[in-house]
Amino acid sequence: MKLHQQYGHVVRISPKKLLISDKDMITQILAKDDMPKADLYLSFQMDNNPTMHDTIDKAFHKTRRRVVSPAFAIRYLATMEPLMHEKMQIMVDKVTKTIELANANGTKYAEMDLWKLLQHLTLDIIGSTAFGTDFNMIKTGSHPLPDRINSRLKYSSFLIMFPMISRHIPKHMDPYLVSFMTKVIEERITSGKRRQDILQILIDTQKAESVEDRLAIAEMINEVIIYLVAGSETSSNTIGFTIVELLKHPEAMAKLRQEIDDLEFEDEKTLFQHSQLKALPYLNAVISETMRLYPVATAGLQRKTYTDITLAGKLAVPENTTFVCNMFASQTHPDYWHVADKFLPERWLDSAYPEPTLDAYYPFSAGSRGCIGKNFAYQEMRLCIATIFKYFDIKPISLSMEKVKDTRQYVTLTIRGNSFNVHISKRETKH
């Protein structure tokens, strides 16, 4: 942001690289021209096997995305809701027990690391919904598979920081991940048992008419690992930052709580159905505003032009230029946002004036490379936030609120130290 304040919306950060916060240019790069991803993404490829996320080949991407997209269709996601519910209930039970223990010791509030809890919840959800594996993170706090993937994530953030070096480092798939996932997939295929999850859609591609649509086991492994990486911390950190902002803004928290308290659980259920939550204006506004201030890809979205082009009718750019779309800068730029750095969920309500500048806002990116897990993430975030505020009362701890000011970008945006302690107690909940 400092560079943009000093030099404007376009900053030349190296001879062939532009950092951009201009909304029209970003919209052209990501959506209108739908430019290919930049070479940086090759650094993520293991054993030179591309996945949907790291390929820079548009034709390969188109086929892969078409083949896997049924797994992310809204109707299919709805059938995965019971799997999400199961993990949410485990989370509620675990937090309740911790609070009861504190109560037995004479304190109303328990102290909990909310950041870790949310990370464990989203890992348990993605393990179950992506390929039917129970990581049991909420109950046990650890499982070798996410632990190994976490090490790979740290390695990836190193690769992003040093692209020149990373190009020359051979990148191999972790043998533990390969053997674990091969076992899961082979067991599913040989047992013939079907399960309503993402892996099932990938396995079903083997029956596709066209040979290019059939995924080999190695390709399925690479894809599901990407979901695990792309689909856990992104959601958990966004939920975490939502709660941080609500703690900083008690008036917004009260409005959200009112909206949620106005809902009753259906029948004998103890959790909300997503159909009850998806159109709640304030819940959606709170999530949108959090993603505006804390976009997961704060390091920017990189695209490349292979031809000479003109950006937004005003900037001539030569071929082979890389663009870093600085979403954090465009989503918080005073040129595009009224009281730009203020957390103001009201700006997303229908009645808002001025209306939000949607072409400066791409928390899920846009175009053919936009997030395929967007609907999954919304379903998960709405269910989780509504569950937490229905069941629990959360109070800030001053030291944690200080710590939270120090955010870091590893692969996604997070809090330094990946931990955020809060005081938490149980509310009286009518079922």
Site residues (CB under 6 A) for ligand HEM?
A: 52-53, 65, 226-227, 230-231, 234-235, 238, 291, 296-297, 301, 363-365, 369, 371-373, 376-377
CB of 327 to ligand HEM, least distance (A): 7
384 is in an annotated binding site: no
Q: Are 421 and 428 in contact (CB under 8 A)?
A: no
List Cβ neighbours of 171 (8 Å cut-off, separation of 6 or more): 43, 44, 45, 46, 47, 159
CB of 231 to ligand HEM, least distance (A): 3
Residue 102 vs 296, nearer CB to ligand HEM: 296
CB of 304 to ligand HEM, least distance (A): 12
SS3 state at 238: helix
CB of 110 to ligand HEM, least distance (A): 27
Give the residues across from 46 on adjacent strands. Answer: 49
List Cβ neighbours of 222 (8 Å cut-off, separation of 6 or more): 46, 49, 51, 173
Residue 285 vs 377, nearer CB to ligand HEM: 377
Residue 120 vs 423, nearer CB to ligand HEM: 120
List Cβ neighbours of 179 (8 Å cut-off, separation of 6 or more): none
For 234, the enclosing helix (H) or strand (E) is helix 233-248
3-state helix, strand, coil in the chain (%, to 5): 55, 10, 35
Of the candidates 421, 373, 425, the one whose C-alpha atom is nearest the C-alpha of residue 99 is 425
Residue 280 vs 366, nearer CB to ligand HEM: 366
**Closest residue to bound ligand HEM by CB:** 373
SS3 state at 343: coil
CB of 167 to ligand HEM, least distance (A): 18
Of the candidates 428, 403, 427, 380, the one whose C-alpha atom is nearest the C-alpha of residue 115 is 403
Give the residues across from 37 on adjacent strands. Answer: 303
Pairing relationship of beta strands 10-14 and 17-20 according to DSSP bridges: antiparallel
Residue 130 vs 344, nearer CB to ligand HEM: 130
**Distance, CA of 342 to CA of 85 (rounded, Å):** 33
CB of 111 to ligand HEM, least distance (A): 26
Residue 222 vs 234, nearer CB to ligand HEM: 234
| Binding region for heme | 371
| Binding region | 371
